[in-house]
Amino acid sequence: MTCGSCRRCQGTGLAPPSACAAEAPCLACAGKGAHRSVIALIQARLGSQRFPRKVLAPIHGHVQLRPASLTGLDVYLLWVWRTDPLTRRMSSHTADIPFAAHARWFAAVLADAQRQMWIAEVDRVPVGTVRVDARREGHDLSWTVAPEARGRGYGAAMVHAVAAGVPGPLRALIKRENAASQRIAHRIGLRPLDLEAPLQTWVSPSGSRPPDRGAHHVAAAQ
């Protein structure tokens, strides 16, 4: 599928899902309005109450995990989350992320057997994502909490749910100023190797497992 003015969508994942073709532009051509277009598309498809732009209505229930998918809206959700200003500042790579580059990265992650990507939901509301990258010495964890879902305990719940099913030593790379992710890492049993490093390495003690907080349907802290 392509937009009306170019063929840059073809084979790149840049075109909106076929059911949304009338609602969203090709993001190779969307320019500065891409963020607004994507948020409007997600709200239209999920319902504004399930993807509010600023304030997340109170939700009660359990964090549930599902694999990220090339179909549907996951590529758009993750782009909105990854390009949030606070997320960019806390990332090890702070440069802007054009949607075209994000779409290629997203497809490559899902095609890689050594990587897993999960979407966390509460009451069917997307609240974040967790990625697992296999390495020779164990597994790396990385995560993003949806901007509108921060401060509710969902980050720790979703990361613990994923970490509980990952074998071998765990590691996370966290910026020194990223206190929220440091708290999540601490709650799942990771410990920092050097608190003074600009990019801290948090690791699981040898042979340890994340503290038992339940199975993959983890009660979300309110």
In-domain check, residue 112 = yes
pTM: 0.72
Q: 121, 169, 112, 172: which is closest to 142 by C-alpha?
A: 172
Within-domain flag for 141:
yes
What is the domain range of residue 65? 55-219
CATH number of the domain enclosing 62: 3.40.630.30
Count of domains forming the chain:
1
Asked if 53 contacts 43 with a C-beta cutoff of 8 angstroms, the reply is yes
In a domain, residue 194? The reply is: yes
Does any domain span residue 27? no
Reported as a single tens digit per residue, the pLDDT across 157-187 is 999 999 999 987 999 999 999 999 999 999 9
The pairs formed by 207-214 with CB atoms below 8 angstroms and a separation of 24 or more are 209/164, 210/160, 210/163, 210/164, 210/170, 211/160, 211/187, 213/157, 213/160, 213/164, 214/161
How far is Cα 94 from Cα 115, in angstroms, rounded to an integer?
Answer: 22
Per the domain annotation, does 137 fall within a domain?
yes
Residue 166 lies in a domain: yes
User: Lowest-confidence range among 82-86, 141-145, 188-192?
Assistant: 82-86
Position 21 in a domain: no
Cβ count within 10 A of residue 163: 26
Name, of 36-45, 61-70, 212-221, the range with top average pLDDT: 61-70
Residue 46 covered by a domain: no
